[in-house]
Amino acid sequence: MINIREGRVEDAEQIAAVHVESWKTTYNRIISESFLSGLSVEDRLKNWIWTFQNATADQAIFVAEDGAGHIVGFSTGGRNRNKEYKHDGEIYAIYLLQEYQRQGVGTRLFRAVADALRNHGCSSMMLWVLKDNPAVGFYKRQGGQVIGQKDVTIGGESLLELAIGWDSFQDQE
């Protein structure tokens, strides 16, 4: 049984561990092995503590935890940081341990952020995802449409990132 709940600063270390592990499995063969092997829970933990301590009222962080209380995934979002797009909400991240994928947990994390954005007055949302990330199909199945793209550099490599948008929350229901 997976429970979805709001994240707390006490969850930061487990979130950081999921973040690192999911990057290593999701981006294997997409991002260089040398970059992925250099990721550390300690560095991610610092970022997550900062995120919790500096979150604004319109930001949301959710975790998925198993029956033993171990965090197996997370999602986060808030106001859109991309002024070139009309969407007022943004999903910043959704990550899930590989063994919990394709079981509906990602959909529940996605909907938790979408509901929080709607409750904070957003009428639309978007996110960024690497073009070669298998999750692109997931976002399209949730009703998202590709609305743009940009080049990003990760680990010294140039990669293509897609902007996926939902013009209204009805698009993802």
For residue range 73-86, list pLDDT tens digits in order.
999 999 999 888 89
Q: Within a domain: residue 12?
A: yes
User: Given this model, what pLDDT does residue 169 score?
Assistant: 72
Tell me whether strands 89-96 and 125-130 are parallel, antiparallel or unpaired.
parallel
Q: Is residue 134 part of a domain?
A: no
For residue 59, what pLDDT band results from cuts at 50, 70 and 90?
very high
Quick check: 173 and 114 in contact, CB under 8 A?
no
16 is in which domain, residue-wise? 3-122
Does the pLDDT value for residue 173 go beyond 80?
Answer: no
Q: What is the mean pLDDT of residues 156-160?
A: 93
State the DSSP H helix or E strand holding residue 129, giving kind and residue range, or none if neither: strand 125-130
* Cβ–Cβ under 8 Å, residues 167 and 146: no
Q: What pLDDT is stored for residue 83 in this prediction? A: 84
Q: Does any domain span residue 139? A: no
Residue 172 in this model has a pLDDT that exceeds 70: no
Amino acid at 20: V
For the chain, the domain total comes to 1
Cα(123)–Cα(33) distance, integer angstroms: 39
